[in-house]
A and B are shown apart, each in its own frame.
Chain A
């Protein structure tokens, strides 16, 4: 299994990066995923790729969701008790996220994981459906919403650096 797993590592790592938006967190998530994967074989008839990606995603949901909520709050100044989001006094590393990370962080988790599996890992809808255990129709609709939201978030601002109070081009979705 280790050989197959080794093949999956680059994809798992990029997936982890797309979910966490941070390289150190991605590597932590990757390690946690590999440890879990190595601890038990997939059930009979389940291919290792969807299974490994599912484990990664579940681990992310378990361990990072709380952090995601805090970070999303930080991007919406009205939710942070009047704390001014100012680059000079950045209180969370999310402020330093570049535009892409910020846009991804603005998605719902359920959209973020799907767009990542399709756009970065290149999974088919069937494979995404197997990995996340959701119907193909749900994959299709969430994916479309994710693409539309990201297109709006990414398409409307200049390519270069975010300024502290531009909110990285996020629009209300």
Chain B
């Protein structure tokens, strides 16, 4: 029996009645040329699936995520939920997947607290120094031994610049937000802290909806999250407003 491409194709998809499927199976077993033809047809599917799933690696455009994001909860401030998520995608492209994945904004066991993330004023002064000049995505080891990594920079509704950053110590890690008042001198004030269980601190997770820090960010972010160019301008010009 001379099998047509149509039959082979339907066989590939298991779309023939079982009796026909069996007949073809038997023939394939005895006919290498037929098997090769089947393989060639199957290879087409494989190539297409592989090729076109490459788009999965590209972040979704903001316009699309905005269409599908859940409705923001009612709040006194104008909440622009999608913008900072779009900014995170932007940062993702800029600083690489590993760091982007480490923009951990959703935790299993997060607790929102106002604890000072590092002990003492000296410790906080070092944090402030780092926030003053360290670009997002880079890590600095403080004298306390903790590792500080800023994540993103944005402006809050009061017109202050704020940064989200991770602090990682020997036995704990926190995700934090601090804001810089316009007063002369480095005047960073801690706004929010979320403890990260140590075992999760090195495991990269992407944010899911509903994390407490998300809610804080949503309330705080006004205008765009800084792209790396804008951030670099701020860092090198001492955070002068434009």
A residues within 8 Å of B by Cβ?
Answer: 2, 5-6, 9-10, 13-14, 17-18, 23, 26-27, 30-31, 34-35, 38, 100-101, 104, 115-116, 118-120, 124-125, 140-141, 143-145, 147-148, 150-151, 154-155
**Known contacts A119-B44, A151-B41, A154-B47; A30/B15 CB under 8 A:** no
B-side interface residues, number (CB < 8 Å): 31
CB-CB nearest in chain A for B42: A147
Q: Is the CB of B5 within 8 A of A148?
A: yes
Q: Is the CB of B70 within 8 A of A119?
A: no
A117 CB to nearest chain B CB (Å): 11
In the complex, what residues of B have CB within 8 A of residue A143's CB? 9, 13
- Of all A-B residue pairs in the complex, the 5 with the closest CB atoms, nearest first, are A144-B9, A119-B45, A144-B6, A17-B55, A18-B52
Residue among B8, B55, B68 with max Cβ neighbours from chain A (10 Å): B55
Contact sample, A vs B, 7 pairs, CB 8 Å cutoff: A10-B56, A18-B48, A31-B61, A118-B13, A119-B45, A125-B10, A150-B47
Question: Per a CB cutoff under 8 Å, which of B48, B51, B64 touches A34?
Answer: B64
Q: Is the CB of B67 within 8 A of A38?
A: yes
CB-CB nearest in chain A for B71: A2
Question: Per a CB cutoff under 8 Å, which of B5, B49, B64 touches A9?
Answer: B64
Within B12-71, which residues are at the interface with A (CB < 8 Å)? 12-13, 15, 40-41, 43-45, 47-49, 51-56, 58, 60-61, 63-64, 67-68, 70
In the complex, what residues of B have CB within 8 A of residue A125's CB? 10, 13, 15
In the complex, what residues of B have CB within 8 A of residue A119's CB? 44-45, 48-49
Question: Per a CB cutoff under 8 Å, which of A9, A144, A151 touches B60?
Answer: A9
**Does B229 sit at the interface, judged by CB under 8 A?**
no
Q: Is the CB of B53 within 8 A of A23?
A: no
B2 CB to nearest chain A CB (Å): 14
Q: Is the CB of B45 within 8 A of A30?
A: no
Chain A's interface: helix, strand, loop or mixed, by majority? helix
In Å, the complex CA distance between A154 and B68 comes to 37
Q: Is the CB of A144 within 8 A of B52?
A: no
Chain B's interface: helix, strand, loop or mixed, by majority? helix
In Å, the complex CA distance between A154 and B13 comes to 20
In Å, the complex CA distance between A64 and B10 comes to 30
Q: Is the CB of B9 within 8 A of A151?
A: no
**Does B208 sit at the interface, judged by CB under 8 A?**
no
With A9-B60, A13-B55, A124-B13 known, 11 other A-B pairs at CB within 8 A are A9-B64, A13-B60, A17-B54, A104-B48, A120-B48, A125-B15, A140-B6, A147-B41, A150-B47, A151-B44, A154-B44
**Known contacts A124-B15, A125-B15, A147-B9; A116/B60 CB under 8 A:** no
Give a binary string over B89-106; 1 marks a CB under 8 Å from any A CB, 0 the rest.
Answer: 000000000000000000
**Does B119 sit at the interface, judged by CB under 8 A?**
no
Within B122-146, which residues are at the interface with A (CB < 8 Å)? none
Q: Is the CB of B68 within 8 A of A5?
A: yes
A2 CB to nearest chain B CB (Å): 6
